[in-house]
Amino acid sequence: MLEKRTFLVDQGTGWQVALHRYRDPRALRSDTDPVVIVPGFAMNSFILGYHPTGRPLTTYLAERGYEVFCVDLRGQGEARAVTGNRRFGLEDVALVDLPVAVDAVLERATHAAEAGVSLVGCSLGATYMFMNAAWRPHPRIARLVNLGGPLRWDAVHPLLTLLSRAPIGAFPIRGTRRLARAALPLLAKLPGVLDLYLNPALCDLTRPEALVNTIDDPIPRINRQIARWVQARDLVIEGRNLSVDAANIRLPLLTIVANADGIVPEATVTSGDRLVSTPPALRRVVVAGDARTRMAHADLFMSNVAEANVFSPLADWLDDALTAPT
């Protein structure tokens, strides 16, 4: 039976990050490393432990023998502001919160993981993952999985380009979840409106009150950083260029891209695979979907084909990576 437990961990700047541990004692294997899953932009870990029609990613991996930790970093889900505020940026989440979360996972893992964790970044969570691996000397990471996340914006949808030029980061945005709850049933009835983000034909949208639990209010400073990043193509923070410094990364890397992703196009998702220094034998790119099954951004996590197209190849790669030469 699947067990879930949540831990709150102080990260040193007035926030407590939340670790949600999923494990199946009957299936748990001693030869695996902990899997840490990082949510993305204006998103929390709820959707990683919930699926409208089948097994969510956490359950699937736990039943394959992995101990899984989903993390809510500051501003996400069940993370708590003790004395901290919402005036933080990408570098704070990636270089302060994420290392604390990884260390806390390794302290709580059922089995020792000398090599470190298998780190799975979802959308912007993959950017946090790359920042951590490129800009920290000893990140305690054994391998990387990019689920639809950007490193360099080699391709940008015109709508995202337009949004990047709007003053969306000038003011705090509140009530995003409430707005989404009201709008989702209406948008699902309008052909093509949701296609950039999800394929309504692949997703059960009859319970919007559950699905919107994964939505958080965006952070103004992060909004502004993303806007500059999209326009410049390269993410540059405090003089460091992630596109250049990605060459510091030599860890095994799996990249999974949705074949009809309108939010983070294929060329942008696969930029990490092109820019890291990982040997080709330790890199793999999986395109989820085909000509008949057009998978968009959110379909990587919540569609009725996610298990076959995303969860299964991810677990297979983790199994292979555990025994692959480095």
166 vs 231: CA distance, rounded Å: 12
289 vs 300: CA distance, rounded Å: 10
Predicted local confidence at residue 186, as pLDDT: 63
**pLDDT exceeds cutoff 90 at 175:** no
pLDDT band at 163 (very low <50, low <70, confident <90, very high): confident
Helical ranges in the chain per DSSP H: 57-63, 90-92, 98-108, 124-135, 158-164, 176-187, 208-211, 220-232, 242-245, 266-269, 271-275, 299-302, 306, 312-323
pLDDT band at 210 (very low <50, low <70, confident <90, very high): confident
128 vs 68: CA distance, rounded Å: 18
**Cβ of 232: how many Cβ atoms within 10 Å?**
14
Predicted local confidence at residue 183, as pLDDT: 64
Task: State the average pLDDT over residues 140-155.
Answer: 97
Predicted local confidence at residue 42, as pLDDT: 84
**Nearest 5°: CA angle at 64, between 282 and 98?**
60
Q: Which residue has the higher pLDDT, 142 or 182?
A: 142
Tokens 């840490």 label which residue? Answer: 36
Predicted local confidence at residue 217, as pLDDT: 87
Question: Token pair of 4, please?
Answer: 């879930």
Q: What are phi and psi of 265, to 5 degrees?
A: -60, 165
Question: Token pair of 106, please?
Answer: 């390794």
Question: Token pair of 310, please?
Answer: 């995303």
Domain boundaries, the chain: 3-323
324 vs 326: CA distance, rounded Å: 6
Predicted TM-score of the model (pTM): 0.94
pLDDT band at 228 (very low <50, low <70, confident <90, very high): very high
Is there a contact between 135 and 240 (Cβ–Cβ < 8 Å)? yes
pLDDT band at 172 (very low <50, low <70, confident <90, very high): low
Among 93, 107, 159, 127, residue whose Cα is nearest residue 249: 127
Question: Token pair of 29, please?
Answer: 């294997």
Predicted local confidence at residue 126, as pLDDT: 98
Q: What are phi and psi of 206, to 5 degrees?
A: -80, -10
**pLDDT exceeds cutoff 70 at 193:** no
Kindly report, residue by residue over 306-315, the tens digit of the pLDDT: 999 999 999 9
Q: Which CATH number fits domain 3-323: 3.40.50.1820, 2.40.30.110, 3.30.1360.70, 3.30.750.24?
A: 3.40.50.1820
Describe the crossing of helices 124-135 and 98-108 by its angle, rounded to 10 degrees: 90
Predicted local confidence at residue 182, as pLDDT: 67
137 vs 5: CA distance, rounded Å: 30
Question: Token pair of 255, please?
Answer: 């990249």
Look up residue 310 and give its amino acid: V
9 vs 176: CA distance, rounded Å: 26
Partnered with residue 283 across adjacent β-strands are 253
38 vs 127: CA distance, rounded Å: 10
